Amino acid sequence: MTSKTATPLRKPAHVTVDAALLERAEFLKIDISKASEAGLARAVAQRQEALWLEANRAALQSSNEFVEQHGLPLARYRLF
């Protein structure tokens, strides 16, 4: 029987980190690989969000200007 969720491919990476921080993490028994991956995942998500916002800045600004000038298109149907 196969699992419905595939295990992501793992790839070793060499990173350099602050020695004191690494010592504290090891003392606290923090899984360095998992913590690094979680931090990298957050950094990737934040960068992707920033790039999306930059790529769509003109469309967002245009939409906001339209609403400022004309109001919400379906405002008359709002019940609140």
| Residue-wise pLDDT tens digits, 3-41 | 567 888 999 999 999 999 999 999 999 999 999 999 999
**Total domains present in the chain:** 1
The pLDDT of residue 51: 98
Domain-located, residue 53: yes
Question: Quick check: 76 pLDDT over 60?
Answer: yes
Binned at pLDDT 50, 70 and 90, residue 44 comes out as very high
Domain-located, residue 59: yes
Our measurement of the distance from residue 58's CA atom to the centroid of its chain's CA atoms, rounded to an integer in Å, reads 22
Domain encompassing residue 58: 33-67
Mean pLDDT of the chain: 92
Domain-located, residue 76: no
**H helix or E strand, kind and range, residue 8:** none
Residues 6+ apart with CB under 8 A from 38: none
Domain-located, residue 44: yes
Which pTM value belongs to this model?
A: 0.71
Domain-located, residue 79: no
Q: What is the DSSP string of 19-44?
A: HHHHHHHHHTT--HHHHHHHHHHHHH
